[in-house]
Structure 1
Amino acid sequence: MSHANDRPLIAVEGLGISLNTSRGRALAVREVSFTLRRGETLGLVGESGCGKSITALALMGLLPDSAVISGSVKLDGGELVGLSDPDYCRLRGNRISMIFQEPMTALNPMHTIGRQVAEPLRRHKKLSAAEAREQAIALLDRVGLPDAARRVDAYPHQFSGGQRQRVTIAMALACQPDVLIADEPTTALDVTIQRQILDLIADLVEERGMAMILISHDLGVIAENVRRMMVMYGGTVVESGTTEQVFSRMGHPYTQGLFRARPRLGAKKGTRLRTIAGTVPELADLPDGCTFADRCPLVIERCRAALPAAFDIGGGHRVRCIRTDVSMAGAVAEAGA
């Protein structure tokens, strides 16, 4: 018999999202499935436009009104697809929170940071203004904002980029959510501040037993910060597994391409980064078959016939490619060269 505490905190099954574009409706996400338990961390990685952020916005109930969602998204056993807006508002910022990519668009320039961090506490926890302010100061202090008690009444423009990102983290964590989604949380920050912010998020996730989804285009960030990962391309998951599995046996040509394209320490000055030929297809132009077919060095006619199924290549490591044996043999040969 299964117990309630055995079930995943988040369970996504067969998620599909179609959006209106200038060229008609387009399937932005298809056949995305994953589960996440309390304390687990999951990374979504891929180039811009591959469906990472849209998947996260679907979990938050923040898709455009014209979006059509199929499949299932459950939070603690309760279905979120089709949930009314007032019901979603009770969850958002309370049980499920998001740290957005650009803090200046996430923060309201007209309100003090203290008021913005206190707002979810007043709305969801029904704290008084004084109690919420006290907790806001404690949160800002916890996320490492210098002199939080004195600066709580300052406005977003009075802070640096790294400090603003700390404020958005305090907002996201105010109600101690069950699920935290971090969407490229360090893109605009320099490397030192990036490390501090990622360490801070990791500490808070562990401290509070939250589940976390970290979205990034940076394989290094994913490697160091999550236990499991999904590589997305053209709105589908092309490879998934534990981070260790995916990095040790990259089965999809796209994952291999991302890995080869990363900057390397110690490379000679002037060394050109390797790139993946071609560009990410527009949503309205996604092919019927493998979404990576037009850029793949191993493509054969059968790749274009239908979207490949995801095959388990061992221990839950899944790859959506009919030529996995060829691609992995090539990767092994290259590694040994």
Structure 2
Amino acid sequence: MPLLEARHLRVDLHTHRGTAPAVRDMGFALERGDTLGLIGESGCGKSMTALALMGLAPDNAIVSGSLTLEGRELIGLPDRDWRAIRGFRLAMIFQEPMTALNPVHRVGAQIAEPLRLHQHLSAHAAREKAIALLDRVGIPDAVRRVDSFPHQFSGGQRQRIMIAMALACEPDVLIADEPTTALDVTVQKQILALIRELVDERGMALILISHDLGLIAQNVKRMLVMYGGSVVESGASAEVFARPAHPYTRGLLAARPSLANRLVAHRSERLPTIAGSVPDLFSLPPGCPFAGRCAYTEAACRTQPPPVVALPGDHRFSCRRADVVLGTPESIAEDS
């Protein structure tokens, strides 16, 4: 059975405006050593998916569907059972390093906490391991700085401390939500190399969430493209990057910086963009969430859910006009 499997996972947010479907019909299966990437614009549901996988969805959220860890259903577990899993078998590197750490506790104590709770280490042993983890993620003079408070570190250093916390118990599944946002290029490479090393050493499964398409291409074997809370395309990363099928995926890839685009930009012209903006979750069309922004939109796209189209290998995408889209290799990104 898969290590971690989501089937028809859904997250509905209840607010004063009504109910918003933040994640709709999410599905994937991870084995040990698998690497999965989630990409998409801000607001497409990537981070909400990650929170649901950790049992940390907001209080106003209803999580439904199925999420299993080695066959054990996680949805509906009491918080006591979730606490036994979080930080031990499932761990997460949160997106915002400036607010994710507790400001009134020393960083060493925060790293040591999951070690004492889940691995039952003594205070001394947990402290020694915390120092080793700080050193491994590149915090200089870790022996001295283990007793420092979060505000005494830079944003990039706080990001590395969060990574040390997530890796402390060597989890079975690591969810990394924009793990290198606050890091310079050199440190990014070091951290990603460390994560890859742990995946290879322990067979840890990795879910990497990022806006950086290059980061996804280089670090995960499979990827999900999300839009409007839904997965619109999935498959092996190499295949999706080489032959993107969904108009949204094509637009994303066309808009990324490249040598040709940089030459265009040098002539004071804008890079290609996708027309329109991400729809409000409260006003998603009942059909394809990309309807209206897509150049191939017809009336039925707005009212009827798109079918899933199977391509060679494990490549899938959701589109009502697949025959037309696949016959048009150009991207829908526009030069504006």
- The TM-score, its normalising length taken from structure 1, stands at 0.94
Aligned to 1:243: 237
Question: Match for residue 275 of structure 1?
Answer: 273
Aligned pairs, number: 328
8 A Cα contact 1:13 1:32, kept in partner = yes
Shift of residue 333, structure 1, vs aligned partner: 8.8
Stretch deviating more after TM superposition (265-274 or 93-102)? 265-274
CA distance in 2, matches of 1:242, 1:317: 7
Deviations 1:144-181 (A, max 9, x none): 22221121111222222222211111100111110000
Report the counterpart of residue 256 of structure 2 in structure 1. Answer: 262
Deviations 1:90-132 (A, max 9, x none): 1001110000111121111211111110010111111111111
1:230 is matched with 224
Separation in structure 2 between the aligned mates of residue 128 and residue 87 of structure 1, nearest angstrom: 23
- Is the counterpart of residue 105 in structure 1 residue 105 in structure 2? no
User: For the Cα contact (< 8 Å) 2:225–2:233, is it kept in 1?
Assistant: yes
* Conservation of the 8 A alpha-carbon contact between 1:21 and 1:284: no
Q: Tell me which amino acid in the other structure corresponds to 1:29.
A: V
Residue 301 of structure 1 deviates from its aligned partner by: 1.3
| Alignment-derived partner of residue 201 in structure 1 | 195
How far apart are the structure 2 equivalents of 1:216 and 1:55? Answer: 13
What is the distance in 2 between the residues matched to 1:22 and 1:118? 40
Alignment of 1:113-152 (within 5 A): 113-152=107-146
- Runs of 4+ in structure 1 deviating by more than 6 angstroms, as ranges, are none
Letter in 2 for 1:11: E
Distance between the aligned counterparts of 2:180 and 2:56, measured in 1?
Answer: 21
Q: How does 1:167-206 map to 2 (within 5 A)?
A: 167-206=161-200
**Pairing 1:323–2:321 present:** yes
For the 8 Å contact 2:10–2:65, the answer to whether it is kept is yes
1:241-265: CA deviation from partner (whole Å, max 9, x where unpaired)? 0001111111100000101111123
Q: Deviations over 1:302-326 (max 9, x none)?
A: 2112221221111110000122232
Alpha-carbon offset, residue 70 of structure 1? 1.8
The letter of the residue matching 1:301 is A
Contact 1:15 1:32 in 2 (8 A): yes
After superposition, give the CA deviation of every residue in 1:44-97 in whole Å (9 maximum; x if it has no partner).
000000011111111100012221122100011100010000000110011100
Aligned to 1:34: 28
Do the aligned partners of 2:159 and 2:182 also contact (CA within 8 Å) in 1? no
Q: CA–CA distance in 1 between the matches of 2:215 and 2:34?
A: 16
Q: Unpaired segments of 5 or more residues in structure 2?
A: none
Q: Confirm whether residue 68 of structure 1 aligns to residue 67 of structure 2.
A: no
CA shift for structure 1 position 209: 1.6
SS in structure 2 at match of 1:293: coil
> Which stretch shows the higher mean deviation, 136-145 or 174-183?
136-145
Identity %: 63
Using the size of structure 2 for normalisation, the TM-score is: 0.94
Residue of structure 2 in register with 1:87 after alignment: 81
Helix, strand or coil at the partner of 1:311? strand
1:15, 1:73 within 8 Å by CA — same for their partners in 2? yes
Question: Letter of the aligned partner of 1:291 in structure 2?
Answer: P
Distance 1:333 1:213 in 2: 27
Partner of 2:13: 19
* SS of structure 2 residue aligned to 1:116: helix
Q: Which moved more, 1:280-289 or 1:267-276?
A: 267-276
One-letter amino acid matched to 2:158: R
In 2, Cα distance between the equivalents of 1:324 and 1:192? Answer: 41
Point out the more displaced range, 302-311 or 109-118.
Answer: 302-311
| 1:164-201 CA-partner distances (Å, limit 9, x unpaired) | 21111110011111000000112233333333322222
